[in-house]
Amino acid sequence: MSQIPEDLSALTGAELVRVFLDAYDQPRTTKAERAEFFDFKSRVFAAIAERDGNPDAARFAACARADSDLLWAEIAASEALNGGDRS
């Protein structure tokens, strides 16, 4: 997921969709990779919500953030219990 831009503010709506779809199609095998994707998804939908005032996009951003937070918490708990195993 290294091709995902950090700053989404300069992207147009169409560019946001293209970047999101490119990231969506990438395989994710670890919880960390899935959490990173949900972080990105949250940022994309938050950018759309901010630009368009779209309440659905804001809701999708919040759901993606919750999914990401849950995965990061699972990773932290797993590391604490298993001494650093990042499954």
**pTM score:** 0.81
Q: How far apart are CA 4 and CA 11, in angstroms?
A: 12
Segment 2-33, tens digit of pLDDT: 567 788 888 888 888 888 998 898 889 999 99
Handedness of CA 13, 16, 18, 20 (dihedral sign): negative
The pLDDT confidence band at residue 85, using thresholds 50, 70 and 90, is low
Segment 44-73, tens digit of pLDDT: 999 999 988 999 999 999 999 999 999 999
